Amino acid sequence: MESLLFLLLLAFACFLLFKGSRFRKWLIGLSLVLLSLGALWARLWESTTAQPAKVNAQFFSGIPRQGRPDGYVSSDQCQACHPSQYNSWHQTYHRTMTQWATPESVVGDFENVTLELLGKTYHLERRGDEFWVELEDQDWEYDPRSKGQSALLVTPPRVKKRIGLLTGSHHMQNYWLPSRWGNMQLIFPFAWLIEDQRWAPFHQTFLRDPALPPSRHIWNSNCIGCHSTGGQPGENPSTHLLDTRSGELSIGCEACHGPAEEHVRANRAPLRRYRSHAAQQGDPTILNPRRQAAKVSAQVCGQCHGIKWVPDSAEWRRIGFRYRPGQDLSQTAPIVQPTRLEAQPWLKQPLEAEPNFLAQHYWPDGMVRVSGRDYNGLIESPCYQRGELTCLSCHSMHQSHPSDQLAANMQGNRACLQCHQKLPNDITVHSHHQAESAGSQCYNCHMPYTTYGVLKAIRSHQISSPTVKSSQETGRPNACNLCHLDQTLGWTAAHLADWYGQPQPPLSAEDQSTSAAVRWLLSGDAGQRALVAWSMGWPAARTAAGENWLAPFLAQLLDDPYSAVRYIAARSLKRLPGFQDFPYDFAGAAEERRRAPQRALDRWKNGLANQLDRAGPQILIDRTGALQQEQLARLRQQRNDRSMDLRE
C-alpha cells in the first residue's frame, strides 16, 4: 500500500511538471518528483536491509529468551569488577553447557553431511554462520497439546530448520531445533561425540534398554533446570505452549551467587566498592559460597548436582525452581535419599506412581549410581555427616582445571590429608600399596569408579571403604576388584580381613575360583558390564592386573544389546596393544556387530595370546592362551538381562 501511494504521488508530480508552464508549478512538481523518488528508494533500501533482521528476529523468537525478572542480570555484568573470576569461569564447561549455535560454539560437522537413522534421512549444511538441518518435520510429533501422545497422523513434510541451541562441549554435543509450539526446543536425533569426532544416534548414547520406547527430549523441560541459570519453562497451563526464558542460557555467575541486580546497583558507587574491599568482609547484596557454612555451601552445588523431587510440578513447569543460593534446598526441592525414605513420607505416592525411579538412579543400598548427582553421594558420606566436608573442600570454579574443577593443590591425596592428618606419614602403612602406585591414592579405594554417565565410569562421591559384603548384596563392583581385574572376591576378602580386620562373609565356590571382574563382565547386568568394561581400559587397572589377557572378554561385549556397553567395550579394546586400529562401529549394522567378537578374538589369538601377562583358572585362560570355553559359555548364559535405564 505504501509503495502504491508513492507511485501515485510520483504520477501527480510528473503531471504538474509537464502540464504546468509557470515556474512555481515546475518547482513544486520537481520537488515532488525528488521527494517521491527518495521515498521509494528509502522504502526499497529498508525492505532489502530489514528483511534479514526480520528473519533473524523471527528465528530468535522461537528460542528460549535470555533475561528474566527477579533480579537476574547475567554474567556479563560481573566482568568489569571481577575480571579474574569472570575469565576463569569463562574457561569452564559450566559456561559452555548451553550456548547459541555459532561458528565458535558448534563442534559437530555440518559441512554437507547426510545421516540416516531408522529409515529417515537428515541433511546437514552450514550457511555462513548458520547451521541447518533438513528433516521430517518434528512438530507433527511433539504437539504439547497431545500430552505425550503422538499427533502424527500422516507422513510429515520435509522441512529445513536452523539449529538454535546446543548443549555440551566436553564429551559430546547435542543440538536443538526450534518448533512452532511457542519456543519449545526439540532434540536433533544425533549427537556429536567429541573424542571420536563422529555423529552417533542420540538415543544410543545412553545406557537404556533398546526395547523401551523412545523417550521425548525437550530442552525446555529436560535440560533447563540444571543446564541454564534461573530457567523458567513458562508453560501456559491452558494451551501447554511454552514461553521459556532464563536468567542466562549457560550456568553463569548467578547460578552460584544468586541474582545480582541489587549487588550491581549498590556497587556502582566506587566509594562503596573500595570500602568493601578494604574491610575484606562479605557483601550482603550477594552470596559467596565460600563464606557460608559447609551445608549451605554444598546446597549451592546440590541444586543441580542432586536428585531432587519437585513437590509442585505444575508450578515448576511455569516458573522453574524457586531455590536461590543461600536458601535451604530442602524447603523447595528436597533431595531423594533412599536411605531416609521413612523421613521423606512425601515420596511414598510419587514412588508408587513411578516404581522404577530408585532403580534408575541408585544402587540397592541407596548409593547414587548415575553421573552429575555428586551431592547425593556427598551427603551420604561420613566426612559430611560428622565433619565439615563440602564441595569446595576439593573443587573450585575459579582456581581449577576446567576438566574436573579440582581446586589448586588438591591433586593426589592432598584433598584428603587436609582433614585426615592422623594418617601415618608413610601412606603405605595404611594402603598396603607402594607409595606412588594407584593403590596409595585415597580416592581410588574410597571413591572408586562405580558411577555411570556420559559413556564412561565416574568416581563415586559417596566416600566409603571397599567391602566384599557390599558387592554381594548390591552387585556394585568394589574398588579392589575394579583395579585387580584378575582376582577373585575370595582374594579381596582375605586381604581386607588381614589388613583391616574386616569379617569375611560367606563365599561361594565361584567367589573363590573366578575373577570377580570377569563374572561381572559376562553375567552382570548392563550397568555392571559397562563399569567393568571401562575399568579394562583404565591405565591403573591394566598396570595392576595386566592387559594382554583382556581382549577375549571385551570382545564378548561388541555385540551387547546395550549400545552404551558396546561403545565402552570397543573404546577399552582399542587401548590394548595391537587393537588401536580395530575397525568397529558400536552403532553400525547388526550383522556387522555379530561378526565383530570373532574378528577381535582372531586378532588376539594371532598376537597377544602369545604374550600373556596373566593366566590361570581364575581368568579362564591357561598358559598356552587357550580359553576355557565351557565356563565362558556358562557365564554368558547367566547374563542378567533385566531391563535397565540409567537416568544420568
Q: List all residues 6 or more positions away from 639 whose beta carbon is below 8 Å from its beta carbon.
A: 522, 523, 524
* Beta pairing, strands 456-458 & 185-193: unpaired
Residues for the chain: how many in total? 648
Q: Using an 8 Å Cβ cutoff, are 100 and 164 in contact?
A: yes
Does position 209 have pLDDT exceeding 50, yes or no? yes
Q: What average pLDDT does the segment 360-366 reach?
A: 98
Give the pLDDT confidence of 169-203 residue by residue, as tens digits. 999 999 999 998 899 999 999 999 999 999 999 99
Q: Cα–Cα distances in Å, from 512 out to 231, 489, 494, 501?
A: 53, 6, 10, 19
Mean pLDDT of 42-50: 49
Q: pLDDT value at position 542?
A: 98
What is the residue range of 45's domain?
2-60
352: left (phi over 0), alpha (psi -120 to 50) or beta: alpha
- pLDDT of 7 higher than 90: no
* Burial class for 33, CB neighbours closer than 10 Å (0-12, 13-18, 19+): middle
pLDDT at site 47: 47
Whether 355 and 388 map to the same domain: the answer is: yes
Asked if residue 464 and residue 349 are part of one domain, the reply reads no
Which one has a higher pLDDT value, 147 or 267? 267
How far is 442 from 460, CA to CA, in rounded Å? 13
- Do 625 and 560 share a structural domain? yes
Residue 583 pLDDT class (50, 70, 90 cuts):
very high
Summarize pLDDT for 447-465 with one digit per residue, the tens: 999 999 999 999 999 999 9
Higher pLDDT, 372 or 426: 372
Could you tell me the strand order of the sheet in which 165-167 lies? Answer: 98-100, 165-167, 172-178, 185-193, 198-201
Helix (H) or strand (E) holding 200: strand 198-201
Residue 150 has pLDDT above 90, yes or no: no
Residues 451 and 312 in one domain: no
The fraction of the chain above a pLDDT of 90, given in percent, is 80
Q: Which of 411, 434, 469 is the last residue of a domain?
A: 411
Q: What is the pLDDT of residue 141?
A: 78
pLDDT at 49: 42
CA 439 to chain centre: 29
Q: Is residue 17 part of a domain?
A: yes
* Mean pLDDT value across residues 351-363: 96
Residues 238, 119: one domain? yes
Task: Say yes or no to pLDDT of 562 above 90.
Answer: yes
What is the pLDDT at residue 123? 98
Q: What integer pLDDT is reported at residue 407 of this predicted model?
A: 92
pLDDT of residue 60: 80
Query: What's the confidence (pLDDT) of residue 50?
Result: 44
The pLDDT, as a whole number, for residue 48 is 45
Kindly report, residue by residue over 522-556, the tens digit of the pLDDT: 999 999 999 999 999 999 999 999 999 999 999 99
The mean pLDDT value of the chain amounts to 91
Q: Is residue 261 part of a domain?
A: no
Q: For residue 388, is it within any domain?
A: yes
One domain for residues 183 and 152: yes
At 32, the pLDDT band (50, 70, 90 cuts) reads low
233 with 319, same domain: the answer is: no
Residues 489 and 610 in one domain: yes
Shared domain for 343 and 482, answered yes or no, is no
Per-residue pLDDT, 12: 61
Residue 133 lies in a domain: yes
For residue 537, what pLDDT is reported?
Answer: 98
Asked if residue 313 has pLDDT above 50, the reply is: yes
- HEC assignment per residue over 105-167: CCCCCCCCEEEEECCEEEEEEEECCEEEEEEECHHHCCCHHHCCCCCCCCCCCEEEEECCEEE
Q: How many angstroms separate the CA atoms of 391 and 294, rounded?
A: 8
In a domain, 183, yes or no: yes
Number of domain units in the chain: 4
Is 65 a member of any domain? no
Domain annotation covers residue 66: no
With the CA atoms of 434, 382, 325 and 392 taken in that order, what torsion angle do they form, in degrees rounded to the nearest 10?
-20
240 and 363 belong to one structural domain: no
User: CA 196 to CA 217: how far, in whole Å?
Assistant: 23
Tens digit of each residue's pLDDT (9 = 90 or more) over 249-298: 999 999 999 999 999 999 998 888 888 878 777 899 999 999 999 999 99
pLDDT for the residue numbered 42: 54
Whether 295 and 230 share a structural domain: no
Q: Which residue has the higher pLDDT, 27 or 120?
A: 120
Half-sphere exposure of 63 (CA within 13 A, CB side): 22
Same domain, 155 and 200: yes
Query: How much of the chain exceeds pLDDT 70, in percent?
Result: 90
Chain position carrying cell 547460578:
255
Is the alpha carbon torsion for 180, 183, 186, 191 positive or negative? positive
Q: What's the whole-number mean pLDDT along residues 60-67? A: 89
Strand order in the sheet with 113-117: 113-117, 120-127, 130-136, 158-162
Whether residue 1 is predicted with pLDDT greater than 60 in this model: the reply is no
Question: Could you tell me if residue 438 is inside a domain?
Answer: no
Residue 8: its pLDDT value, please?
59
Q: What is the residue-wise DSSP string for 496-530? A: HHHHH-PPPPP--HHHHHS-HHHHHHHHS-HHHHH
User: What would the pLDDT profile of 498-521 be if each residue is shown by its tens digit?
Assistant: 999 999 999 999 999 999 999 999
